[in-house]
Amino acid sequence: MTMIRMTRMGRKKKPFYRIVVTDSRKRRDGGWIEAIGHYNPVSVNKELTLDMERLNYWLSVGAQMVLNSYKTCRQEKRVMVKDFLLSYTKLLVNNPEDISIEISEVDENFDEIIIFANSEDIGKLIGKEGRMINSIKTVISGCKAKGGKNYRVNVKASE
């Protein structure tokens, strides 16, 4: 099985992580297929860089994210969540130019995400028996792994 996880680099007490795609049977710091980003928790602004295009590709072919990879979403969650949803939903629909995403803060620990799509594409976003929207909710719920916000995802027709 293909996994998306962090591999530790750097020196003693100065960790630096690469976010990589690897086989689940490999060691934490073992060989990897592709590096899709990096995370530096030691720097002042806790630098996080992800190639969203490659992340979306690996998720679309069935790669699973490890919990530590979810935790890296702590940095600029709202922007990352919005960018991820925008790029992921555009891959699913026939009219990607009609996709827009709105994030509103309901209270201190809760955000509501509304995905606006063409009325023809709403069925594709929800999927059979709600499987597609549930998978989107699962990926988004990983961003709240440690002290984050809860998210509610809704799909509405754009006007």
| Paired tokens of 3 | 């996994």
3-state secondary structure of 123: helix
Model confidence pLDDT, tens digit, residues 94-147: 888 989 988 888 887 788 889 999 888 888 888 888 888 888 887 777 666 545
Q: Which domains does the chain have, with CATH numbers?
A: 1-68 (3.30.1320.10), 76-159 (3.30.300.20)
Mean pLDDT of 24-31: 76
Let me know if 85 is exposed, middle or buried by CB neighbors in 10 A (0-12, 13-18, 19+). buried
Over pLDDT 90: what percentage of the chain? 1
| Secondary structure letter of residue 46 according to DSSP | -
Mean pLDDT of 23-29: 76
| Paired tokens of 154 | 């809704």
Model confidence pLDDT, tens digit, residues 72-95: 544 445 667 777 788 888 888 888
CB atoms within 10 A of CB 44: 6
pTM: 0.52
